[in-house]
């Protein structure tokens, strides 16, 4: 298209050129260029809990891949269902309990969160994390209703689409034999990323980890959904398997983390020493050196324009900056002639004793000798005239304070290297711009992913390839390290590493960050086939107990918080979190978490006001998930003391409701039940404008009705 645009621009006939430009603009609106994939490929999901009603699309539980789909013609009172094939060619009969409903994404659907358990070890006022079992697309639709524009950081680790049957599309595993597997993957990801974008705050950041199988495709998809100049999309390489793995000519050691950041914001990293290093830091008993760059070939002066190294000597922090500038910009004598001068070094003690006058850009270097003194100019090993980092006045001040360090003489060149060693506090020592290659032992997915999960669950091979909890923590810390009340979302949660990492961050600084993580209860293919041979299918308790959520995520999260494994034994006492002063894992965390299942509501029942109890857990979560939910009673209003939300059920009691809210500075959310938009507008106008006020049940129903197939 770029070539066509160039050719059209060369057409001398103005009228013809404008007509062609208009035609091309219209074509571009209808045809996208760049990343091309089959977006029209429909995605469906089999959903538990939906009723079998006339018109529904269903499959038999004994046919989990949905090779044959049916439409429901009729349901009699005895639980028998009359079915017809999708082409209408045949009619069959089946028991309703042997069928499951299939929904195409984009069909209006009305999800809700059903509580299925909780662990509470934190204070009453501490917010709950939410761990959700369900189809993540529908859960995201619900979260858009609850949290649109409120999420600080989204971290996702989607299926890598390796061809190893590690994910499903339309109830069928995708493998290397599927010629459309990349197209299906992109279609699946685009739907979810569009919803995710709506959840992010204006300064929110999306992090997506991926490997070589889809890294190029996800990069182009992110560019489409988060385009320049509004967003930047830096990519970090993380060494997760130092030993290397792979069947081709190379042993792959890394994966990638794509950061999607609003371009008008600056994110200041607050990182532990040595976390974003090309090589692990060197240590001895009294000094820790954290390099900002690998050593240069000039003997140690390095760039001179970088962040310097951080050193810890006898408990005190220093930043070590090379004095000679070697960067590509403004580092030559001709660029900054006032920063070209002599520095006099006492050879016996290697102490700087003075500085010479500024030399103009073309002045020759004077030939001078001083007994017992070496004279240093900012000249690099190639003989190029560079400049010092500072002007003479600043340099004189640093010399007076004793902050200039001189290394031993290089035996080959006879030259010294000079550094500004600046005392800094511990907080400043941690504020470092992150590098884009991370190589640190704590990021090893074997030791701190698989082995850690095995430790938590007390069994091996429970979940394939979990992330290192420290790699996830470090990714999150870049974005929410200075946001102690951040909301973090992961809708490909797998074993629950993101929630675990959030607990680590809170333990480090006393934060109240909360995570919402979503996973399905998919059963591993080999186990599923074995269960199906025994007559156990999706929806059976015997089958479901082997799923990711029930067998891995829920018990891992519980163990993380309590320190007690599923079999009742504590995590071994010798297992600790090294960065938390060797805190025993058996100690757990003072956190609260609630587990939910995504269920589906009848919109007519919702509209009639008969489903508030089903919707209430979602509203409680939207208001911060703080405290215990009160028991619902037949009343005009719900204004629980100490809780940040209130609900009015009968609009004629609004005056009383308004009085009940007087002095409640802790309130953040109010829901008003009314059928009249005019009445809602009038009541809202009388409430504190800082409150988030919603109309029930209009806003809930509208949220899902507008998410039709045409709007995806």
Listing DSSP states for 258-306 in one string gives EEEEETT-----B--TTTT-SSPPEE-SSEEEE-SSPPPTTSS---SSS
Determine the Cα–Cα distance for residues 641 and 645; give it in Å rounded to an integer. 9
The number of CA neighbours under 13 Å toward the Cβ of 292 is: 22
Give the pLDDT confidence score for residue 28 in this predicted structure: 72
What's the pLDDT tens digit per position in 499-525?
999 999 999 999 999 999 999 999 999
Q: How large a percentage of the chain has pLDDT more than 90?
A: 62
Would you say residue 5 lies in a domain? Answer: no
Listing DSSP states for 396-412 in one string gives HHHHHTT-EEEPPPPTT
Determine the Cα–Cα distance for residues 410 and 407; give it in Å rounded to an integer. 8
Nearest to 515 by CA among 554, 541, 487, 493: 487
Q: Which of 430, 446, 479 corresponds to the end of one domain?
A: 430
Q: How large a percentage of the chain has pLDDT more than 70?
A: 90
Same domain membership, residue 207 and residue 322: no
Between residues 527 and 429, which one has the greater pLDDT?
A: 527
Give the pLDDT confidence score for residue 264 in this predicted structure: 76
Tokens standing for residue 222:
């992110």
Q: Where does 314-413 show beta strands of DSSP type E?
A: 316-322, 324-325, 343-346, 351-355, 373-376, 387-388, 404-406
Which residue's entry shows tokens 């103009």? 360
Over 60: is that where the pLDDT of 134 sits? yes
What average pLDDT score do residues 212-226 get? Answer: 94
Would you say residue 612 lies in a domain? Answer: no
Give the pLDDT confidence score for residue 279 in this predicted structure: 39
Over 70: is that where the pLDDT of 263 sits? yes
Give the pLDDT confidence score for residue 287 in this predicted structure: 38
The strand order across the sheet containing 373-376 reads 351-355, 343-346, 373-376
Over 90: is that where the pLDDT of 330 sits? no
Residues composing the chain: 712
Between residues 672 and 1, which one has the greater pLDDT?
A: 672
Q: Which of 88, 104, 120 corresponds to the end of one domain?
A: 104
Between residues 329 and 670, which one has the greater pLDDT?
A: 670
Would you say residue 126 lies in a domain? Answer: yes
Same domain membership, residue 148 and residue 51: no
User: 259 forms bridges with which residues in the sheet?
Assistant: 207
- 99 to 46, 258, 520, 570, 609: CA distances (angstroms): 10, 41, 20, 42, 29
Over 60: is that where the pLDDT of 54 sits? yes
Same domain membership, residue 393 and residue 538: no
Whether 82 contacts 677, CB under 8 Å: no
Over 60: is that where the pLDDT of 433 sits? yes
Would you say residue 213 lies in a domain? Answer: yes
**H-type alpha helices, 446-577:** 451-457, 469-480, 497-509, 525-533, 541-544, 548, 554-562
Give the pLDDT confidence score for residue 281 in this predicted structure: 41
Tally of domains in the chain: 4
Q: Residue 310: pLDDT band by 50, 70, 90 thresholds? A: confident
Same domain membership, residue 399 and residue 259: no
Whether 485 contacts 513, CB under 8 Å: yes
Same domain membership, residue 212 and residue 241: yes
Same domain membership, residue 123 and residue 266: yes
Helix axes 181-199, 136-147, angle to 10 degrees: 20
Q: Which of 415, 430, 445 corresponds to the end of one domain?
A: 430
- What secondary structure, in 3-state letters, does 418-465 show? EEEEEEECHHHHHECCCCCEECCHHHCCHHHHHHHHHHHHCCCCCCCC
Give the pLDDT confidence score for residue 292 in this predicted structure: 38
Determine the Cα–Cα distance for residues 523 and 539; give it in Å rounded to an integer. 11
Same domain membership, residue 133 and residue 77: no
What average pLDDT score do residues 304-318 get? Answer: 67
Over 50: is that where the pLDDT of 74 sits? yes
Over 60: is that where the pLDDT of 300 sits? no
In the predicted model, what is the mean pLDDT of the chain? 87
Helix axes 612-622, 136-147, angle to 10 degrees: 70
Give the pLDDT confidence score for residue 412 in this predicted structure: 78
What average pLDDT score do residues 427-451 get? Answer: 84
Lowest-confidence region among 202-206, 265-269, 356-360, 472-476: 265-269
Listing DSSP states for 1-41 in one string gives -HHHHHHHHT-S-HHHHHHHHHHHHHHHHHS--SS---TT-
Would you say residue 184 lies in a domain? Answer: yes
Same domain membership, residue 554 and residue 457: yes
Over 60: is that where the pLDDT of 284 sits? no
Would you say residue 480 lies in a domain? Answer: yes
**H-type alpha helices, 96-214:** 136-147, 181-199
Same domain membership, residue 562 and residue 447: yes
What average pLDDT score do residues 135-158 get? Answer: 96
Q: Where does 68-225 show beta strands of DSSP type E?
A: 70-75, 80-85, 91-95, 99-104, 111-120, 128-133, 151-156, 164-169, 172-175, 200-210
Which residue's entry shows tokens 């621009």? 9
What average pLDDT score do residues 470-494 get? Answer: 95
Same domain membership, residue 554 and residue 445: yes
Tally Cβ neighbours within 10 Å of residue 343.
22
Would you say residue 473 lies in a domain? Answer: yes
Determine the Cα–Cα distance for residues 134 and 554; give it in Å rounded to an integer. 13
Q: Residue 329: pLDDT band by 50, 70, 90 thresholds? A: low
Residue 535 contacts by C-beta under 8 Å, 6 or more apart in sequence?
Answer: none
Would you say residue 490 lies in a domain? Answer: yes
Tell me the whole-structure pTM to 2 decimals.
0.81
Same domain membership, residue 206 and residue 190: yes
Same domain membership, residue 99 and residue 123: no
Over 50: is that where the pLDDT of 278 sits? no
Q: Residue 33: pLDDT band by 50, 70, 90 thresholds? A: low
Give the pLDDT confidence score for residue 289 in this predicted structure: 37
Domain with 554, as residue range(s), is 111-271+435-594
């Amino acid at each position: 298209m770029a070539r066509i645009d160039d050719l059209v621009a060369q057409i001398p006939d103005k009228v013809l050129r404008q007509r062609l430009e208009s035609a091309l603009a219209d074509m571009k609106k209808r045809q996208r260029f760049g990343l091309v994939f089959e977006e029209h490929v429909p995605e469906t999901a089999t959903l538990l809990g939906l009723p079998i009603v006339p018109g529904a699309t269903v499959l038999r539980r004994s046919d989990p891949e949905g090779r044959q789909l049916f439409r429901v013609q009729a349901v009699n009172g005895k639980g028998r269902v009359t079915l017809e094939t999708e082409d209408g060619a045949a009619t069959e009969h089946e028991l309703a309990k042997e069928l499951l409903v299939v929904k195409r994404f984009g069909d209006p659907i009305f999800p809700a969160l059903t509580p299925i358990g909780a662990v509470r070890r934190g204070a009453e006022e501490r917010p709950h994390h939410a761990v959700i079992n369900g189809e993540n697309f529908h859960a995201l639709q619900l979260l858009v209703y609850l949290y649109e524009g409120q999420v600080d950081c989204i971290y996702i680790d989607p299926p890598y689409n390796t061809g190893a049957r590690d994910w499903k599309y339309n109830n069928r595993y995708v493998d290397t034999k599927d010629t459309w597997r990349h197209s299906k993957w992109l279609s699946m990801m685009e739907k979810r990323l569009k919803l995710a974008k709506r959840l992010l705050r204006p300064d929110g950041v999306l992090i997506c980890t991926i490997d070589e199988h889809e890294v190029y495709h996800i990069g182009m998809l992110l560019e489409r959904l988060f385009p320049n100049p509004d967003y930047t999309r830096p990519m970090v390489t993380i060494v997760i398997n130092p030993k290397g793995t792979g069947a081709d000519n190379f042993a792959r050691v890394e994966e990638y983390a794509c950061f999607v950041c609003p371009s008008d914001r600056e994110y200041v990293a607050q990182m532990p020493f040595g976390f974003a290093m090309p090589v692990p830091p060197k240590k001895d008993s009294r000094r820790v050196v954290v390099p900002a760059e690998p050593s240069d070939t000039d003997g140690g002066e390095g760039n001179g324009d970088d962040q310097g190294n951080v050193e810890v000597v006898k408990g005190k922090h220093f930043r070590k900056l090379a004095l000679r500038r070697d960067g590509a910009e403004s580092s030559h004598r001709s660029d900054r002639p006032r920063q070209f001068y002599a520095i006099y070094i006492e050879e016996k003690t290697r102490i700087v004793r003075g500085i010479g006058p500024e030399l103009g850009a073309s002045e020759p270097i004077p030939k001078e000798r001083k007994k017992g003194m070496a004279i240093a100019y900012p000249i690099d090993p190639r003989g190029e005239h560079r400049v010092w980092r500072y002007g003479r006045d600043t340099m004189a001040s640093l010399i007076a304070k004793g902050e200039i360090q001189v290394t031993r003489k290089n035996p080959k060149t006879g030259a010294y290297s000079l550094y500004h060693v600046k005392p800094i506090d511990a907080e400043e020592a941690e504020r470092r711009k992150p590098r884009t290659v991370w190589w640190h032992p704590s990021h090893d997915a074997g030791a701190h992913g698989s082995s850690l999960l095995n430790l938590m669950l007390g069994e091996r091979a429970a979940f394939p390839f979990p992330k290192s909890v420290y790699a996830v923590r470090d990714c999150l810390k870049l974005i929410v390290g200075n946001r102690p009340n951040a909301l973090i979302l992961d809708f490909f949660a797998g074993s629950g590493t993101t929630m675990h990492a959030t607990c680590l961050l809170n333990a480090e600084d006393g934060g109240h960050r909360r995570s919402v993580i979503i996973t399905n209860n998919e059963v591993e293919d080999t186990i599923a086939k074995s269960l199906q041979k025994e007559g156990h299918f999706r929806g059976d308790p015997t089958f479901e107990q082997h799923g990711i959520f029930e067998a891995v995520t829920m018990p891992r999260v519980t163990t993380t918080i309590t320190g007690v494994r599923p079999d009742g034994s504590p995590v071994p006492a010798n297992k600790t979190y090294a960065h938390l002063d060797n805190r025993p894992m058996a100690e757990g965390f003072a956190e609260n978490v609630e587990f939910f299942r995504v269920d589906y509501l009848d919109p007519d029942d919702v509209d009639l006001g008969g489903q508030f109890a089903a919707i209430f857990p979602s509203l409680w979560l939207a208001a911060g998930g703080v405290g215990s939910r009160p028991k619902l009673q037949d009343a005009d209003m719900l204004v629980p003391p100490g809780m940040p939300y209130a609900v009015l059920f009968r609009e004629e009691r609004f005056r009383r409701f308004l009085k009940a809210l007087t002095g409640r500075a802790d309130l953040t959310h109010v829901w008003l039940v009314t059928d009249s938009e005019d009445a809602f507008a009038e009541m809202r106008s009388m409430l504190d404008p800082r409150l988030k006020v919603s109309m029930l049940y209009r806003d809930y129903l509208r949220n899902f009705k507008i998410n039709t197939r045409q709007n995806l």
